[in-house]
Copies of this chain bind each other. A is one copy, B any other.
Amino acid sequence: MKRATSTAPASHRNEMRYNPATGRWVIYALSRRQRPREMVGAGEGSRAEPAYDEHCPFCPGHEQDLPPVLLEYGRGDSPWQIRVVENKYPALTPEGDLKRVCQGIYMKMEGYGHHEVLIESPVHNRQIPAMTGGEVEMIVDAYHRRYLELIRLEKNLLVVIFRNCGRRAGASLAHPHSQIISTGVVPGHVREQEYRAQQYFDQWGSCMYCDMIAEELSAGIRIIHANRSFVSFVPYAAAQPFEIWIMPRVHKAHFGDISAEEKADLASSLHAMLRRVQGRLNDPDYNYVIHSSAKYRTDEPQAHWFLQIGPRLTTRAGFEIGSGMSINTSLPEEDADFLRSDPPLEKGGRNASQA
């Protein structure tokens, strides 16, 4: 990558800076301060939402205010069932340049990338646990199509698909949605995980994640759910209570390589896990994220894509910030046991289905 030098202070608003002490890139996206935050002031924990909110930008009737639609699925008599649009307040934009610019001893570049929103339903309060299996499959299919579209673009090196649900999980809008961000860099965090998996492979001659699946199936005590293609478990060293990893049984580094059968099975696993999280843990806020290999590492024998769910039941505090170690007040085996049982039938709350 060519280097340029500048001592001028930052003037444009979307940029990325590299912190040489932490090895982390940070995205500066000042325009995101202006985004609507309908959930500010709401109480924590479960809250009832109506089926339609006239002020919600994702509810039907506001289509003209949204950026252009990138992907749309129809269903029955609804004008649309799922829509993927550009984020109106993007963290990264496709106009950015990847040229690094030195500022004294530091380094920055423009905020290149894509930032999309996947609106999962026209119904304001139809969260995933209340959906049908077919609706969740459609979401997974939309993830896959956007993933393939973005990762093939020359400058994109990583695509992150994630869902923030609830204010404690960083969501600013209640309407069911996921987000997709592509970046033109592979962050150090991802490289470190690659490196650990590489070391394991070089040492043991096998994929760490494949070995983990075999170990979990053999031990059994941390498994919550398994189907034809996926195993869902609380990891042995879960960093927080009720963390869940949904792992494909067949080794694939790259989410882009998911098969049609796996898409149906991922939807089924995700649906089952979110219903349990909701039903057994009193409808907590949560994040989930799909970890997949960076570009050019998509065929590696040591990387293995998976989906991680993290209910927001605890708070990262000073010790975690200083040491990178977590303090977990809950044992993975007990958490798995608790989630393994069938969820109670629930009505109302954030996941009420009124569609």
Binding site for B on A (CB under 8 A): 9-10, 17-30, 32-33, 91, 103-106, 108, 158, 160-164, 167-171, 179, 181, 183, 187-190, 192-193, 196-197, 200, 208-209, 211-212, 215, 218-219, 221, 235-239, 287-291, 308, 310, 314-319, 321-331, 333
Copy number in the complex reads 2
Which residues of the partner chain B approach A319 to less than 8 Å between Cβ atoms? 91, 160, 162, 179, 181, 289
Contact residue among B17, B170, B236 (Cβ-Cβ distance under 8 Å from A19): B236
A-B contact pairs, 19 of them (CB 8 A): A10-B331, A20-B196, A21-B197, A23-B193, A26-B325, A27-B325, A28-B328, A28-B329, A103-B236, A104-B219, A105-B215, A106-B215, A106-B236, A160-B323, A161-B322, A167-B315, A168-B315, A170-B315, A287-B321
Contact A32 B315, beta carbon cutoff 8 Å: no
CA distance A193 to B321 in the complex (A): 13
Find A324's partner among B21, B104, B188, B211 (CB 8 Å cutoff).
B188
Q: Which of A22, A167, A197, A212 has the most CB of B within 10 A?
A: A22
A272 to B291 Cα, complex, angstroms: 42
Is A22 a contact partner of B239 (Cβ separation < 8 A)?
yes
Q: Nearest Cβ in chain B — how far from A203, in angstroms?
A: 11
B10, B27, B200, B327: which contacts A328 (Cβ < 8 A)?
B27
Interchain nearest-CB distance for A269 vs B (Å): 18
